[in-house]
Amino acid sequence: FRTLSDRIAQMYRKLYKMGHSDPRKVLFAMKVGLSLALVSLAIYIQDHSPFNELTRYSIWAILTVVVVFEFSVGATLAKGFNRALGTISAAGLALGIAELSLFAGSYNELVITVNLFIAGFLITYVKQYPAMKPYEYGFRVFLLTFCIVLISGRRTSEFFFTAASRLVFIALGGGISLVVNILVCPIWSGEDLHKLVVKNFNGVAKSLEGCVNGYLQCFEYERIPSKILTYQASDDPLYSGYRSAVQSSSQEESLLEFALWEPPHGPYKTFKYPWRNYVQLSGALRHCALMVMAMHGCILSEIQAAPEKRQVFREELRKVGIEGTKVLNLLGSKVQKMEKLSRRSILFEVHGAAKQLQIKIDQQSFLLVNSKSWAAAKHPYELEQTENSMQDNINMPPPAQSEVRDSSKDSYIRKWSSVDNVSKMESWSFSPLDADASMKVMDEENSKVYEIASSLSLATFASLLIEFVARLQNLVDEFEELSEKANFRDSSD
């Protein structure tokens, strides 16, 4: 008993929290309650009027409210339209067929049963066609009405009366639902779509900032959460931002479907408001987010670049990260405030920062590869290079041996290899006559491979960041198309 009351208390707290974080959920629930109470009153009044013959069909009003009343105005309109169209067309068709079936005389029942089969088959088949998906509910209502009119009609032959009374009560229920839904604190899908796009911008910006900073601070996962490894939702701060932006596409599609039903309201003043462009903008953002995703992959990777090398590019990477985040945040706030861009060159700083990063890479590119091994490589310039690199060894302050030790120390190899540093250092002095010489050759090869891979990881991160910057242009283009079509106001600053 104790645990039961505990669980109820816990449940209550959770529900309270939900209402506190999104008061619209409370509002929606109250609106449903209000509609039901109003319908109940209407039925009561009708019950005490001269037309109370109809009362046996009054449950259809209740049924309509429960079924049609949805969270947002758009969804309610879409469902109401589907329901009305399905009911009217089905009733008409069923009346026709029922009249005809009377000619069949004693085969009447058979005709009706065959018609039910055919209707069930056709409707169910057609509604599975992908383009028909928005009207799925309409088809269902059509089938329902069709069956009910045919069946309940055949006893009394009062087809018309059945259908008409149903229509009256459905109109009553639907009317009350619509009035309450639209007039009492309406909840708009379009507004939700707008907010979702803004939220995606902020999420990707947060992920980008977190990835660049995390990479520079050599942030490492002790153990990668299995939720990330199987691409499930997780509240990891670097991960959740881009994941929700990438995963929100189906949510956007359904919000779009409802938003298209909504009349002009609030700041969305025009008919045929370009809701599709919001979804396209979000798609372009997703295209950028894929690069952030790949950058996060560099942090998750088992092979990591040395912290010392990351320090060399620290300023440039940080600058690109900051400027990229700024662009995303700026675009996000412009979408939120529905303002046009004040100048064409919103990408000027981030392009500049990306260029600086590239120049730095250009200058320091020897850090990104293992120049030591060039001497051993079989490329066309072999002879000349060998000569040069030998001279390198003499001239350069850190001699070959120390450089090798250096990179073995700071390249992280987390799994995928059983090589430890000791055996690696040993292998530098192995003799070919040694018993496990081949083993050591193997080991040496392995560790060399990780060395180069670990440096390349830095190049990859930088390159992905640059590609992210390149993709921003597409995002800005989509934003400008949206801001034109949706007639955003000119920027105040």
Residues within window 193-252 making contact with a copy of itself, judged by CB under 8 A? 228-232, 246-247, 249-250
- Does the protein bind a copy of itself through residue 158 (CB under 8 A)? no
Site for a copy of itself in 399-418 (CB under 8 A): 415-416
Three-class SS state of 304:
strand
Euclidean distance between CA atoms 138 and 117, whole angstroms: 19
Q: Report, in Å, the least distance between residue 220 CB and a copy of itself.
A: 15
Per-residue b or e along 323-353, where b marks 16 or more CB atoms closer than 10 Å to that residue's CB: bbbbbbbbbbebbeeebbbeeeebbebbbeb
- Member of 263, 264, 297, 307 binding a copy of itself (CB under 8 A): 297
Q: Supply the minimum distance, in Å, between the C-beta of residue 282 and a copy of itself.
A: 8
Q: Which stretch binds a copy of itself (CB under 8 A): 89-97, 187-195, 287-295, 315-323?
A: 287-295
Alpha-carbon distance of 40 to 59, in angstroms, equals 10
Residue 147 in 3-state DSSP? helix
Nearer of residues 100 and 122 to a copy of itself, judged by Cβ: 122
**Which of 107, 117, 219, 221 forms a contact with a copy of itself (CB under 8 A)?**
117
User: Cβ atoms within 10 A of the Cβ of 58, count?
Assistant: 22
Count, residues near a copy of itself per rule CB under 8 A: 127
Q: Which of residues 51-70 bind a copy of itself (CB under 8 A)?
A: 55-56, 58-59, 62-63, 66-67
330 scored as a contact of a copy of itself (CB under 8 A): no
Residues 454-473 interacting with a copy of itself (rule: CB under 8 A): 456-457, 459-460, 462-464, 466-467, 470, 473
Residue number, 400 or 452, with CB nearest to a copy of itself: 452
**How far is it, in rounded angstroms, from Cα 298 to Cα 246?**
18
- Using the rule CB under 8 A, is 85 a contact of a copy of itself? no
Among 365, 401, 402, 487, binds a copy of itself (CB under 8 A): 365
Q: Per CB under 8 A, which region of 72-80, 85-93, 336-344, 360-368 contacts a copy of itself?
A: 360-368
By CB under 8 A, residue 9 contacts a copy of itself: no
> Minimal distance in Å, beta carbon 492 to a copy of itself?
29
Cβ proximity to a copy of itself, 205 vs 289, nearer residue: 289
Determine, following the binding rule CB under 8 A, whether residue 369 of this chain makes contact with a copy of itself. Answer: yes
The least CB distance from residue 269 to a copy of itself, in Å, is 25
Q: Are 156 and 180 in contact (CB under 8 A)?
A: no
Shortest Cβ 335–a copy of itself spacing (Å): 15
Q: In the set 2, 4, 50, 129, which binds a copy of itself (CB under 8 A)?
A: 129
Tokens of 220: 């490492």
The answer to whether 491 contacts a copy of itself (rule: CB under 8 A) is no
Contacts made by residues 249-256, CB under 8 angstroms, sequence distance 24+: 249/282, 249/283, 249/286, 251/196, 252/193, 252/196, 252/197, 252/278, 252/279, 252/282, 253/279, 255/189, 255/190, 255/192, 255/193, 255/196, 256/193
Q: How far is the CB of 225 from a copy of itself (least distance, A)?
A: 12
Cα separation of 459 and 306, whole Å? Answer: 12
Q: How far is Cα 287 from Cα 48, in angstroms, rounded to an integer?
A: 63
Q: How far apart, in whole angstroms, are the C-alpha atoms of residue 371 and residue 392? A: 10
DSSP string, 13-54: HHHHHHHHH-HHHHHHHHHHHHHHHHHHHHHHHHHTSTTGGG
CB 452 to a copy of itself: min, Å = 4
In the complex, minimum distance from the CB of residue 368 to a copy of itself, in angstroms, rounded to a whole number: 6
Minimum CB distance to a copy of itself smaller for 267 or for 476: 476
Q: Does 184 bind a copy of itself (CB under 8 A)?
A: no
Q: Characterize the bridge pairing of strands 412-413 and 303-304.
A: antiparallel
Helices 275-300 and 437-485 pack at an angle, to 10 degrees, of: 160
| Binding residue (CB under 8 A) for a copy of itself from 236, 257, 302, 349 | 302
Q: Please count the other Cβ atoms lying within 10 Å of the Cβ belonging to residue 459.
A: 17
Other CB atoms within 10 Å distance of the CB of residue 359: 11
* Token pair of 90 as six digits: 């089905």
Candidates 82-90, 183-191, 291-299, 336-344: pick the segment binding a copy of itself (CB under 8 A): 291-299
